[in-house]
Amino acid sequence: MRKRLRKKKHLGEFRQYGFSLDCRLRPGISDSVFERFIDDFISQAIEAHELVFGGGGSPGRGWSGFICRGHRYESTTEADKTAVENWLRGRSEVESFRLSDFIDAWHGPDTFDEKTAERKLLQKQLEMESRRVQKNSREVLEEFEQLEDS
């Protein structure tokens, strides 16, 4: 697959990896404490390390999301993961948490390799070409039938 397509599809050297977070807070935390916790998390654990976070939750249901780099085509590192982990460990509001392994931010946790993507692309091109040939064959057959009738 050409570099331009790999870049467009976030494959190969253009993959971007992040990790997910599942967090349980101590029971009985008020909404104002929860909001302050979230604000601190975003400013101290995420933005301070040039990361971005998408997710949500509530004090009672738990809280989860996905963390990745804020810069295009950059992946999170073990240092980023350790920084988030250390920040969570240092907070009294946190009862428990889990950080996932690194996940492809664009294609999900399933293994997605270039050969599979290229094979699917070639299969799709072959199907399109096959339809085109069938259409042309029908047109030629119709013309032939018209010539025989006249």
Residues 20 and 92 in one domain: yes
Q: What confidence score (pLDDT) does residue 34 get?
A: 92
Measured CA to CA, the distance from residue 128 to residue 126 in angstroms comes to: 5
For residue 5, being part of any structural domain is answered with no
Residues 61 and 127 in one domain: no
Q: What confidence score (pLDDT) does residue 3 get?
A: 86
Q: State both tokens at 2.
A: 């050409």
Residues 49 and 68 in one domain: yes
For residue 122, being part of any structural domain is answered with yes
For residue 68, being part of any structural domain is answered with yes
For 53, the 3-state DSSP assignment is strand
For residue 6, being part of any structural domain is answered with no
Q: Provide CB contacts within 8 A for 93, sequence distance 6+.
A: 25, 26, 29, 33, 34, 37
Q: What confidence score (pLDDT) does residue 140 get?
A: 81
Structural domain boundaries enclosing 30? 15-104
User: For 91-137, what is each residue's pLDDT tens digit?
Assistant: 999 999 999 999 988 888 765 556 666 777 778 788 888 888 888 88
User: For 73-88, what is each residue's pLDDT tens digit?
Assistant: 889 999 999 999 999 9
Q: How many domains does the chain contain in total?
A: 2
Residues 52 and 88 in one domain: yes
Average pLDDT for residues 134-149, to the nearest whole number? 82
Radius of gyration for the chain, computed over Cα atoms and rounded to the nearest angstrom: 26
Residues 59 and 90 in one domain: yes
User: For 5-50, what is each residue's pLDDT tens digit?
Assistant: 888 887 788 888 999 999 999 999 998 999 999 999 999 999 999 9
Measured CA to CA, the distance from residue 7 to residue 145 in angstroms comes to: 49
Residues 138 and 64 in one domain: no
Average pLDDT for residues 59-77, to the nearest whole number? 88
Residues 50 and 93 in one domain: yes
Q: What confidence score (pLDDT) does residue 112 get?
A: 52
For residue 3, being part of any structural domain is answered with no
Q: What confidence score (pLDDT) does residue 92 get?
A: 92
pTM to 2 decimals? 0.68
Residues 51 and 78 in one domain: yes
Burial-class residue 75 by CB neighbours within 10 Å (0-12, 13-18, 19+): middle
pLDDT band per the 50, 70, 90 thresholds, residue 53? very high
Q: Provide CB contacts within 8 A for 50, sequence distance 6+.
A: 69, 70, 71
